[in-house]
Structure 1
Amino acid sequence: MTTSAATSAATSAAGTAAGPERGSGIAVVSFNGADNAGKTTQLRWLAAAMPGADPAGGIDGHDPQWTKVSGPGFARWWFAECPTDEHVALVMRSHTARGLAHCGGLRLEDRGLPMLLAVCAATCVVKDGLAPDDALRVVTDLAAAVDPPPVTGGQVHLLLRHADGAPGREAALAVARDPAPPGPWYVAYQQALARILAEQTDRGVYDAVLVRGQESVLGVQRRVREVLALHGVAVSRLPAATPDRVWVVGGMSEAGKSVLGSLLVAEHGATRLKIGYLLELAALRAAVTDPYTVWDEREQARRLAEELLRFTAANKTGPVVLESAHRLEATAHLRDCLGPLCRVVFVRTDPATRAARAVESVVSLTGRDAVKASRGAERIEAIADVVVDNSGPLAALKLALPALATVPAPAVPGHPPNSVAAVAARGRWVAATNADWLERVIEHLVDGDTALLLATGSTGRADWTRDWSDADLLLVRDTYPAAWLRAVPATLPPLSGVKSGLTMLTTTEVAVGRVPPRVVHALRLLAATGDGVLHHRDGYRPPDPAAEVDDRAGRGELGLVLMTCRRLLADPVPDVRAVHKHLVLVAKVLLRAGHEPQLRDEDGDLVLADLARAHPDLPPLPTLAAVAALHRTAADRRDPDAVAALLTALAAALTLTDRSHTITTWRTTS
């Protein structure tokens, strides 16, 4: 049997299958797993990519008994009233009938024979009180009395799992992901089912095991197709390229969706695409005349996702804006398909403002709104990742734009993100220096309005150095009343001989990205490591800015940095500490622009070493220890050669920013 790890490694070397027809000797592909693992979704997506396949679905449509027992009393019938022998006979009889009804091509089954045995055995555990292995043995013997369906070739049984680990976690996730409140029968059933599936897995019953984890529906579908190709099933591969980010923009008529899209193009280099355009392409590809009537909304979302991948692969696009989302279920499923790279944005604008902006009559606008409302457009606001109020001026919309490029920090299961418990789960950060002062700071600053207090830079770290390092803090609060500002920050406990800096931002400012570059980087570091957390309010989710946001923020401040550097170089008595810090800052901006922004580039010596490797023609770059020694020496007693070397290094670094310009000639038209 192929384990999830071995499957992942093996599939990376697999070639593209020849086409969406029946594979070499494979007659049945079944999707199996605990409830809510995504079996039906994956099967339906796969079936759409294999016109020659026969999507047989589940067994409940292949015996009239299922209709008779369905309804409010189904759970009681299933778990208490129906004897095990009758239950197994019904399930196996339905399995055989399904096989007889779908025997013309490659049969795609929602729960194959191994899974049906596991289902019956788990039910037997709940109903009869048997141990899981005993129940599986009893059920297997009972099932042997029913003639199996005809199979003209090999079978591939895929097992989709919620997570790696013990069966208890698998059962817990199956229950947690169920939209209905679970009853005691159902919980016990999922626990038994998880144990039986684990036992089957150990015995090699399943041909491949795919762990879903937090992966998107799209990611799992990719792996499904790779696994099937390894087993001789010819299936079209999904394009490997994916957009860097996808914004799905919804809103009512004249809400400003197109304006928002144009701003994302201007400020994030996004490509604007219409959802209707991509669906028309998908319909042409599938020879479908009307995708909105032939396909349900979930199918529309899957087809849209595939078309988006093709567009991305053909055009090498980065971020993408999809306009305009009108259908609630399609929008929600598209986000599930694409995963974390997708953000649903709803533009909310009051009716009076929309009417004033429209060039059409109120009657026409109302008619268009009615059509959108009938599709669920208004309800998209309730599922949106970001709701943008566009009832005000354009400036307000522009100021809100950075929020679209951030995502909430990842959560540790069972704990609010970056809570004390979450940080502890990762290995709680403990201050290595100035711990007593930091405790006094916490007591002084933290109250009910405090969302986050963070030690930034080298503050609290082992490499913090007296007479060189500052003590920097980031405070995020809901509000900053004037009286509080006058009373609290002004009386911050001093750290003897050390300059302390308190950056104060509101939760709203942090959420929308209205923060300086160093805070952008601090938030990325926080999301990745949890380091520096002095206080975190349960339930508060600081954003995790994307790598490109970190890079762009640094480059956006480069002009100010260069101006300051030249002032430092012109100073008759150079401030060697400031010169070194700006040298490191210039190096960080250049390195982040050329590579993935690093999350641990706080060590100045390492940063300058990276810069020297990237630009070997630079003069020698001084170490922090050497510059710190200069800093501690009186200005009139410093080694002039060492000072000159420091100034030469900064001047040389500044020339790199000029050399990075690719525009050599400006041409103007008369």
Structure 2
Amino acid sequence: MNGHQPSPGPQTKAGAWPQPRVIALDGADNSGKTTQLRLLERASGDEVRIGGSLHHYLPQWPKLSGAELAHWWFSESRSEELVRLLLEGHRRRLDALTGRPGWVILDRGPATVEASCVASVMLKDDRSARDAEALVAEVRAEVLGESAPEAYSVLLSLGPPAAGAALSVGRERVADERYARYQQLLHTALETRRGRHDAVIEADRADIVGVQNQLRSQLAQVGLYVRPLLDDVRRVVGLGGLSESGKSSAGEYLRRRFGTTRLKLGYLVELAAARHGLATPYDEEPRLLAELVLDELDRYARAHYYLLDYTIESLHRPGLTRELKRLLGDRLSVVYLDAAPPVRARRSLVDPDALAHNDEVKLARGADRIAGSCDLLIDNTGPRPDLELALDRLMTGSMARPAAESPRITEPLELAAPPALRRAAASALTGIRNALGERLLLFVVAGSVGFGTADPELSDLDVLVGVEAGCTADLAGELARLRTELGVKLGMTVLTRHELLLRRCDSRTFSTLHSLQRGRIGCQYLSADLELPEFDGPQRHQQTIQYLARTLHEIRRPLLGVETSRYALYKSVLNAAKMLLRLAGAEETEPAAISALFDRMFPDADRATIPSRSEYREMGRDEIAAVASSVLNWFERYLAAAPTPLR
């Protein structure tokens, strides 16, 4: 959950169409037409009528199914009789559905009906494609007329004929050689009709929800508007496992660290059961129940559009879990938590007999079998940090989406900074690249130099470096050399690749990486194989709160007698104001701008004004300490203040 990837957009035939009332969803067997129409029908309500299988409109259709129907279709029926029946069924279906206003969507339009006829004739009579097409065209003219209207048609393609036929056959529980040959001929006949369709959706390249949303987008172009499914949902993590395996702990950790919304699968099932009058919802087919759960998740997400990521506990039924995965694809990560029985017994708040009973119930549902098909299996027998690290890897590591855009590259000598600091940045980058070679992953000039607000007399060179693990000794040697030669004070933060990928960093570094991804600063080096995760979302807000707490601590220390430089105290005061402004949704980096905005957004006549850099130069240690004390006192009052009562 790589992460959820956008599916390829639909291909649309050029040219404007008048608004049709009849739409055909075409495609070979097992391309997903019926599933897509079910999802669409539930979302569109009475606005759309779905035209299903042709045999429902044919009283003379044989009352057969399964192997008996296949034997009649391919062996007993005459080719012309079969073709006439199929086309007559299409005509009667149109007559039955188009007699009143509204939208009609056909499960298999004329292109698919004709392709099925052609493939059947070729297989039954061993005819060439040309002869089969001629027979079908002749019967079509008799049954439908030469000028039979074409529906607006969308094709669900499974790829080239050979690959598509293999997919169709592979999705059957039982398929013999004759059926496989029929699918090859059907896919080929559909391919020859590809140009007749007004849109083609590559259904083999997307999950079911992705295809559904492409279909809805395509229908909107001709006037049928249905809201995209799960449009506001970015990611879902499904949690499975036996009792006391850690599902709730995992869900709560993901909520606190990544801002996910916790939902119970049983809650969604209960909503679906109440909506559809299902007394025993778990007795329904897993495919249908999964679709109903999906509908309820969609309704919840629409009502809470500001929520993006979800966890669903507890996945206990492998069939339902499998169908949810088919629907959501990579947007759903199925995580199974396992733990040794003695460990689960120690964690349990119920007695051993009750725990054993709970396990019996879950095992009867097949809960343990989810471990064999999950996206991530976590052994949660060890200490809690092991679980949290595994979840971090899931959310920010190889299974997660990388950042939407790559950081911009700014050469050191092109930084908006005093010349001495630009030269120092260039020398530092060159020296560290020479020392580490390919083990250097990231080099970012941060702080005032990176933001373009550096002071030639006051500013240090602050650098964030990303490296492979095991580089500390080589990096230490190079830093010792640089600090004797640069002529400026060099401060460096070092993170390994996995600390970067897992976002395991302090609040100040998190802020730097967020600024890098938002283009507020550039990086001077980025390895081609390093894809940074997003440094944003709920975690950024928490990091800002932590950063503010840290700066208040840094202000208080020198006021309590801890030795601190005058400039360090001044920067702590600036950073405290800057973090509160960030929590208010405002970003400033230049000291005078921070001070002015702080006074405007948080006015207090009794609080000292934070000086600009030029004003700071004229102030002594005691004057800076007085400003710091005034600002700290204001923060203490601000944090302690009770809400203003309503009058």
TM-score higher than 0.5 here? yes
252, 264, 270: which one pairs with 1:274?
A: 264
Unaligned runs of 5+ in 1: 7-23, 71-86, 122-136, 163-169, 412-416, 632-637, 666-670
Q: Does 1:442 align with 2:433?
A: yes
What residue number does 2:174 align with?
none
Select which of 52, 58, 61 maps to 1:56: 52
**Kindly tell me: are residues 589 and 309 of structure 1, through their superposed partners in 2, closer, same or farther at Cα, counting changes over 3 Å?**
farther
Are 2:372 and 1:379 equivalent residues in the alignment? Answer: yes
Structure 1 position 551, deviation (Å)? 1.1
Is residue 30 of structure 1 aligned with residue 24 of structure 2? yes
Summarize the Cα distance change of 1:522–1:410 in structure 2 as closer, same or farther, 3 Å threshold: farther
Match for residue 594 of structure 2? 608
* Secondary structure in structure 1 of the residue aligned to 2:140: coil
Are positions 1:471 and 2:471 aligned together?
A: no
Q: Find the partner of 2:634 among 646, 655, 662.
A: 655
Task: Give me the whole-angstrom Cα distance separating, in 2, the residues matched to 1:320 and 1:51.
Answer: 27
Deviation at 1:379, TM superposition (A): 2.3
- Structure 1 counterpart SS, 2:430: helix
The corresponding residue for 2:487 is 497
2:523 — aligned with what? 532
Tell me the amino acid that sits aligned with residue 339 of structure 2: T
- Corresponding residue SS for 2:52: strand
Counterpart of 1:131 in structure 2 is: none
Is 1:517 aligned to 2:507, yes or no?
A: yes
Q: What are the equivalent positions in structure 2 for 1:265-664 lying under 5 Å apart?
A: 272-297=262-287, 299-312=288-301, 318=307, 320-328=310-318, 330-331=320-321, 334=324, 343-357=333-347, 359-361=351-353, 364=357, 367-368=360-361, 370-373=363-366, 376-381=369-374, 383-384=375-376, 387-394=377-384, 396-397=386-387, 406=396, 430-431=411-412, 432=414, 433=422, 434-446=425-437, 450=439, 452-457=441-446, 461=450, 463=452, 465=454, 467=457, 468-477=459-468, 479-480=469-470, 485-492=472-479, 493-494=481-482, 496-524=486-514, 531-532=522-523, 534-536=525-527, 538=529, 541-567=531-557, 575=565, 577-579=567-569, 581-595=571-585, 603-604=589-590, 608=594, 611-612=597-598, 615=601, 617=603, 627=613, 638-640=617-619, 648=627, 651-652=630-631, 655=634, 658-659=637-638, 663-664=642-643
Change beyond 3 A, Cα 1:602–1:114? farther
Larger CA deviation: 48-57 vs 271-280:
48-57
Helix, strand or coil for the counterpart of 1:544?
A: coil
Q: Tell me the CA shift for residue 252 of structure 1.
A: 3.0
Shift of 1:275: 0.8
Aligned to 1:13: none
Give the counterpart of 1:256 among 221, 246, 269: 246
Could you tell me which residue of structure 2 aligns to residue 157 of structure 1? Answer: 153
Which residue of structure 2 lines up, in the alignment, with residue 124 of structure 1?
A: none
After superposition, the C-alpha distances for 1:25-59 in whole angstroms (9 at most, x for unaligned) are 93x33336899997665333113446763353799
Q: Deviations over 1:93-122 (max 9, x none)?
A: 85664564686546544554468899999x
Alpha-carbon distance, 1:192 to partner: 13
Q: Is the 8 A contact 2:31 2:168 kept in 1?
A: no
Aligned AA (1:371): A
2: distance between equivalents of 1:621 and 1:215? 57
Judge conservation of contact 1:565–1:579 (CA < 8 Å) in 2. Answer: yes
Q: SS of 1:532's equivalent? A: coil
Change (3 A) 1:67 1:37: closer
Counterpart contact for 1:251–1:347, Cα < 8 Å: yes
- Compute the displacement of 1:322 (Å): 1.6
Preserved CA contact (<8 Å) 1:160 1:209? yes
Shift of 1:604: 3.6
Preserved CA contact (<8 Å) 1:569 1:647: no
Bigger mean CA offset, 491-500 vs 92-101: 92-101
Contact kept in structure 1, 2:251 and 2:311, CA below 8 Å? yes
Shift of 1:545: 3.8
Query: Alignment partner of 1:378: what SS?
Result: helix
Q: 2:209 touches 2:229 (CA, 8 Å); kept in 1?
A: no
- Assess if the C-alpha contact under 8 Å between 2:513 and 2:535 holds in 1: yes
Query: Does the 8 A contact of 1:551 with 1:589 survive in 2?
Result: no
Distance in 2 separating the partners of 1:229 and 1:571: 69
How many positions carry a matched residue from both structures?
A: 569
Structure 2 partner of 1:147: 140
- Deviation of residue 145 (structure 1)? 4.0
Question: Aligned equivalents of 1:116 and 1:646: distance in 2?
Answer: 85
- Residues 570 and 624, structure 2, Cα contact 8 Å, conserved in 1: no
Q: Which amino acid aligns with 1:562?
A: L
Are the counterparts in 2 of residues 252 and 377 from structure 1 also a CA contact under 8 Å? no
TM-score, normalised by the number of residues in structure 2: 0.64
User: Alpha carbons of 1:240 and 1:329: their partners in 2 closer, same or farther (altered >3 Å)?
Assistant: closer
Q: Provide Cα deviations, 1:65-98, integer angstroms capped at 9, x if missing partner.
A: x999x9xxxxxxxxxxxxxxxx999999856645
Q: Is the 8 A contact 2:578 2:588 kept in 1?
A: no
> 2:463·2:492 contact (CA, 8 Å) conserved in 1?
yes
Amino acid at match of 2:290: A
Given the superposition, is the C-alpha separation of residues 645 and 285 from structure 1 closer, same or farther in structure 2, using an over 3 Å criterion? same
Change (3 A) 1:469 1:112: farther
Residue type matched to 1:286 in 2? H
Aligned to 2:267, what secondary structure does the other structure show? helix
- Distance in 2 (CA, whole Å) between partners of 1:88 and 1:594 is 75
Judge conservation of contact 2:27–2:33 (CA < 8 Å) in 1. yes
Distance of 1:287 and 1:294 partners within structure 2: 12
Taking structure 1 as reference, are residues 334 and 604 closer, same or farther at Cα in structure 2, changes over 3 Å only?
farther
- 1:45 paired residue number: 39
Does structure 2 conserve the Cα–Cα contact (< 8 Å) formed by 1:349 and 1:389? Answer: yes
Measured after TM superposition, the shift of residue 367 of structure 1 is: 3.6
| 1:160–1:652 CA distance, 2 compared to 1 (3 A) | farther
- Aligned partners of 1:242 and 1:161: how far apart in 2? 27
Deviation, structure 1 residue 377: 1.5
Deviations 1:331-370 (A, max 9, x none): 4654675688755433232344235545335864664464
Following superposition, the deviation at residue 441 of structure 1 comes to: 0.8
Structure 1 56/501 Cα, relative in aligned 2: closer, same or farther at 3 Å?
A: farther
Structure 1 length-normalised TM? 0.62
**Structure 2 Cα separation of the partners of residues 39 and 111 of structure 1:** 8
State the SS of the aligned residue for 2:381.
coil
